[in-house]
């Protein structure tokens, strides 16, 4: 393989060329600890590809400009052909130029090295990154869901997690893990303090201890009188009992 570098390339000797042609001549792969490899690619430089094909001698370029080096994971080496890696390594050196990758006669593009006749690479993934079951390397399909039906955030297509709650913390019935809806009421209609939307508990009394009619558990209102109008001592607001007798006075 080779690539052209240009336009208007100036050599280290000050000679201006319309471009140069870099042709891969050798490569070296060195295993490293931690599952990585060091790759080194050596290129010869020519004034043009036609000069190279005609048998011209390479033109001199400094070592740093004819050698591409990269440290990559071994899986990258397995999944990518050497020509593609070589191009990437030298492209970093000439990043300020326009580069054109050129394949020699009979050289196949990298994608044909990577994928088998069924379209899958050595790890079982196609060009789009999905395996035969339709999942990518992280286990998600094209819609973003795993085999259990959950996305990366842990929610299914309906928006609920494995515990049955949505991102706001409510289940399909509208209750959170504590059993309360968005307004703070449980399935019986009571909040955490035990009162319904009208402010009454299961026994029918509010926080002050009075029912909807205004009477406490003993049947007396806030003024201390029952439904018949008498207090706990049996007297009404006029101080009379049920028979019309006034409360006795102390002597």
pLDDT along the chain (251 residues), means of 10: 79 80 90 91 90 91 87 83 84 84 61 69 84 95 97 97 97 96 96 96 96 96 95 93 86 57
Point out the domain boundary residue: 85, 113, 141.
113
Phi, psi of 142, rounded to the nearest 5 degrees: -65, -25
Q: How many domains does the chain have?
A: 2
pTM of the model: 0.48
Q: What is the DSSP letter of 135?
A: -
Coil, strand or helix at 126: coil
Pair 101, 182 in one domain: no
Point out the domain boundary residue: 66, 86, 113.
113
Q: What is the DSSP letter of 59?
A: B
CB-based contacts of 224, cutoff 8 Å, min separation 6: 231, 232
Does any domain span residue 249? no
Q: Are 77 and 71 in contact (CB under 8 A)?
A: no
pLDDT for the residue 105: 61
Coil, strand or helix at 172: coil
pLDDT for the residue 108: 57
Point out the domain boundary residue: 61, 82, 113.
113
Residues across the chain:
251
Residues paired with 16 in a beta bridge: 10
Domain of residue 184, residue span: 178-236
């Amino acid at each position: 393989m080779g690539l052209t570098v240009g336009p208007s390339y100036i050599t280290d000797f000050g000679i201006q060329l319309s471009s140069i042609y870099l042709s891969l001549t050798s490569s070296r792969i060195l295993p490293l600890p931690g599952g990585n490899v060091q790759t080194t690619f050596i290129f010869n430089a020519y004034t043009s590809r036609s000069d190279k094909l005609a048998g011209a001698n390479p033109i001199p370029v400094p070592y740093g400009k004819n050698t591409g080096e990269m440290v990559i994971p071994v899986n990258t080496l397995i999944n990518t052909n050497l020509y593609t890696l070589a191009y990437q390594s030298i492209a970093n050196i000439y990043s300020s130029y326009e580069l054109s990758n050129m394949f020699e006669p009979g050289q196949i593009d990298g994608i044909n090295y990577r994928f088998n006749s069924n379209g899958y690479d050595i790890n079982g993934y196609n060009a789009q990154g999905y395996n035969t079951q339709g999942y990518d390397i992280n286990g998600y399909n094209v819609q973003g869901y795993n085999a259990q039906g959950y996305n990366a955030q842990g929610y299914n297509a309906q928006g609920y997690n494995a515990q049955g709650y949505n991102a706001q913390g409510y289940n399909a019935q509208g209750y959170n893990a504590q059993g309360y809806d968005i307004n703070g009421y449980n399935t019986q209609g009571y909040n955490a303090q035990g009162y319904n939307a009208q402010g009454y508990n299961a026994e029918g009394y509010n926080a002050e201890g009075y029912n909807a009619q205004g009477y406490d558990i003993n049947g007396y209102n806030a003024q201390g009188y029952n439904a018949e109008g008498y207090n706990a001592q049996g007297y009404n607001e006029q101080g009379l009992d049920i028979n019309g007798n006034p409360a006795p006075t102390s002597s």
